[in-house]
Amino acid sequence: MSVRKSKQKSYDWQRDFEKRLSISIWAFVIVFAILVLRLWFLQVIYNDYYTKLAEENRLKIEETPALRGKILDRNGRVLAKNRFSFAIFVDRKKLNDKELFSRLAEVLETTPGSLMRKANKSSFFLGNRVLVERDVPFEKVSYLKERKEEFKGLTIDYLSLRYYPNSNLASHVIGYVGEVSEEELKEPEMKGVSKGDIVGKTGIEKAYDTFLRGVKGKRIYEVDALGNIRRVVAEEPAVSGKDVYLTLDAEIQKQSEEAIRKAIERAKKLGFTNANSGAALVMEVNTGKIVAMASFPDYNPNLFVIGLDPKIWKQLTSAKSGFPLLNRTTKTGYAPGSTFKVVTLISAFENDKTFPGEGFYCAGKWFGFGKDWPKSCWKKSGHGHIGLIRSITESCDVVFYELGYRLYKTKGEPLQNTARKLNFGRKTGIEIGESEGRVPDKAWKKRYFKKRENQIWLPGDTVNMAIGQGDLLATPLQIARLYAAIANGGKFYKPLLVEKVVDSRGKVIREGSPELDYEVRIGKNALRIIKQGLAGVTSEGTARTAFSGFPVKVAGKTGTSQVYGKDDFSLFVGYAPYDNPKYVVCVVIEQGGHGGEVAAPAARFIFSALFGVGETDLVKAVDVSR
């Protein structure tokens, strides 16, 4: 009995062993098959993928910034270019090295905390290096280079920085640059731009940024297992940006800016102590090319190149400083005052509300609304018997009150329609940004005012508009464009700021050609009367003193606009030479007083620069005008 049991046990053990061996063999076969299959996938199917990963671990690609293109005036004078400066970079592995930043802060005369924050927030990288500081003085760079062992992890390289050699000159036209924002990176035109890159923020710098910024290059490094650079494997050089030539003449721009400053000084001497800002614009009559575009107060775009101090930004955007970043020639709407009277006259002829020989009488007041509601002329003693030509020359308000009232009583809104046709209330298409101004009408008034009693368009609204007052607003560019069209017979050219764009080989890749926006038919009688009236303004009318003895015949119009709670604004717009118009000049001095006293002499100063007369001071004008 015992022998049988022993045999049974032996048999069971052998069977169990064979079963276990079989399972082990199959397990081994399966594992081996999986390993072989996995190896096959890695070597065959994913070969390219893992080869690329291995290559990327061995190679590092660094983008190299492109030189930004220059901005020049029409004569090739440089308005914006680049300068090389020293920049300090820190290795990524050293971003939290307090001892290193403490030593560096001592050299740069700042605090370690501010440097560390700057480095950790920096968006500018070169390989494994992070930008810490731009535009480092040479003596500090020398000190750091002499003590390399003390500043391990720091490297010094060259960076190109934007530079505006003429400081404030034409700052509103040129604009400034800065680091691209997260919002800007989402824009389609920012293709190829990375975080930390420098782009145009305003003016031509922004409008032509795609041309100016160029194409970044690439530098491929071989690195070791620790990420240290061993050698440069390949390099694709950056392509410099294109140069942009403006239609501006730097010398005329300089004189225009000087004219505003002199006009403000003159206004203060005449008792208009609140005069602190203004605008001046020069445009070619027959092409639309902008020769000068001056706005004051202005600013220095070099302030923005390496990052702006918050305190300075606050100053530049405050009312106390006069909003120096604001381009008053295109983005500020002014009541045009008497410069608008030519529009009223054109509208009156178009709607048969006057005729060439019509006479009026000005006793200093207009009683069109009845004796209880008189409206005064600027000349309190009146102009007496006066015709249409003289009404322009002497800027008689009474004549235009009457014409405005006649237009009010006409079906529709004829004065508004004429104003829009003549460029008011619409953008000109200039590339650096602008306001469309405002042509008030019944619909606007109903929409603008909340109180029902204020929403009704009244006869006085049209009458005020007829002399360029009320809620009417126009930019100096719109006013200048109107007078250019009067000078050339009704052609409205699109304002042109860029003459050409040129690549690094000197090839013109884009040329700015005069573009006729549209043409308006101005009746012969209206045009003749207006031109004769404007010619009289500078010889015997409201700007006769300002242009006394000037060798070039100028036709123009003074304007004095009233703004609630402020002193009068001073305006003048004119073109010359009268017989063969070439340039139109518009000047506005905010709270500067009468047009003939301040704005007209400033315009003469600009015309003297245009025609090489050589005057160095504003003429002494007396109070003769509005």
pLDDT digits (tens, 9 = 90+) for 420-457: 999 999 999 999 999 999 999 999 999 999 998 899 99
301 in a structural domain: yes
Say if residue 255 is in the same domain as residue 241: no
Query: Region 272-300: what's the mean pLDDT?
Result: 98
Model pLDDT, residue 34:
72
Percent of the chain at pLDDT > 70 equals 87
Model pLDDT, residue 602:
97
Average pLDDT of the chain, as a whole number: 89
Model pLDDT, residue 624:
42
Which position has the higher pLDDT, 194 or 554? Answer: 554
195 in a structural domain: no
Distances (CA, A) of 336 to 8, 482, 553: 122, 12, 23
Whether the CB-CB separation of 337 and 348 falls below 8 Å is answered with: no
pTM of the model: 0.85
Neighbours of 270 (CB within 10 A): 17
Give the separation between CA 606 and CA 601, rounded to whole angstroms.
9
623 in a structural domain: no
Model pLDDT, residue 502:
97
Say if residue 21 is in the same domain as residue 72: no
Model pLDDT, residue 575:
98
Give the separation between CA 429 and CA 419, rounded to whole angstroms.
17
Return the amino acid letter for 36.
Answer: V
Confidence of residue 53 (pLDDT cuts 50, 70, 90): very low
Model pLDDT, residue 41:
56
Model pLDDT, residue 40:
59
Model pLDDT, residue 307:
77
Say if residue 241 is in the same domain as residue 261: no
Say if residue 159 is in the same domain as residue 115: yes
Secondary structure E strands in 67-118: 71-72, 78-91
Give the separation between CA 467 and CA 415, rounded to whole angstroms.
11
Number of domains forming the structure of the chain: 3
Query: Region 300-322: what's the mean pLDDT?
Result: 88
Say if residue 145 is in the same domain as residue 169: yes
Say if residue 228 is in the same domain as residue 271: no
User: What are the DSSP calls for 559-597, one per residue?
Assistant: EEE--TTSPPEEEEEEEESSSS--EEEEEEEET---III
The least confident of 226-235, 283-292, 376-385 is 226-235
pLDDT digits (tens, 9 = 90+) for 110-166: 888 888 887 777 666 666 778 888 888 888 888 888 888 888 888 888 888 899 999
Q: Which residues pair with 239 in a beta bridge?
A: 215
Q: Residue 366 maps to which CATH number?
A: 3.40.710.10
Say if residue 16 is in the same domain as residue 80: no
The token duo for 403 is: 């014409």
Whether the CB-CB separation of 382 and 391 falls below 8 Å is answered with: no
Give the separation between CA 207 and CA 203, rounded to whole angstroms.
6
Whether residue 551 has a cis bond before it, omega within 30° of 0: no
Say if residue 480 is in the same domain as residue 564: yes
Model pLDDT, residue 418:
98
- Candidates 318, 332, 319; CA nearest to 279 is 332
Q: How many Cα atoms sit within 13 Å of 190 on the Cβ side? A: 19
**Tokens 């400034």, residue?**
176
Model pLDDT, residue 174:
98
Q: Which residues pair with 254 in a beta bridge?
A: none
Give the separation between CA 138 and CA 150, rounded to whole angstroms.
18
240 in a structural domain: yes
Angle in degrees, CA 490, 493, 495, rounded to 5: 140
Model pLDDT, residue 6:
47
- At residue 616, does pLDDT exceed 80? no
Say if residue 261 is in the same domain as residue 354: yes
Q: Which residues pair with 518 in a beta bridge?
A: 492
Please report, in angstroms and rounded to a whole number, the separation of the first and last CA atoms in the chain: 142
Model pLDDT, residue 156:
86
- At residue 532, does pLDDT exceed 60? yes
Instruction: Assign 387 to helix, strand or coil.
Output: strand
Say if residue 306 is in the same domain as residue 379: yes
204 in a structural domain: no
621 in a structural domain: no
Query: Region 548-573: what's the mean pLDDT?
Result: 96
pLDDT digits (tens, 9 = 90+) for 322-338: 999 999 999 999 999 99
75 in a structural domain: yes
pLDDT digits (tens, 9 = 90+) for 234-273: 778 889 999 999 999 999 999 999 999 999 999 999 999 9
Query: CA gyration radius for the chain?
Result: 37
- Candidates 249, 168, 178, 248; CA nearest to 213 is 178
Q: Residue 232 maps to which CATH number?
A: 3.90.1310.10
Say if residue 445 is in the same domain as residue 559: yes
**Boundaries of domain holding 13:** 2-45
The token duo for 411 is: 């079906």
Dihedral angle of Cα 41, 46, 51, 56, to the nearest 10 degrees: -130
Distances (CA, A) of 436 to 173, 425, 433, 477, 496: 18, 5, 10, 10, 17
Say if residue 399 is in the same domain as residue 279: yes
pLDDT digits (tens, 9 = 90+) for 447-498: 999 998 899 999 999 999 999 999 999 999 999 999 999 999 999 999 999 9
Distances (CA, A) of 73 to 297, 508, 512, 525: 21, 15, 13, 40
Which position has the higher pLDDT, 7 or 78? Answer: 78
Residues 6 or more apart in contact with residue 606 via CB below 8 angstroms: 252, 255, 256, 259, 280, 282, 292, 585, 587
The least confident of 68-72, 311-315, 483-487 is 311-315
Model pLDDT, residue 625:
44
Whether the CB-CB separation of 264 and 275 falls below 8 Å is answered with: yes
Give the separation between CA 467 and CA 470, rounded to whole angstroms.
9
The token duo for 65 is: 């910034």
Model pLDDT, residue 36:
63
189 in a structural domain: no
Secondary structure E strands in 424-543: 491-493, 498-502, 508-511, 516-519
Whether the CB-CB separation of 466 and 404 falls below 8 Å is answered with: yes
- At residue 351, does pLDDT exceed 90? yes
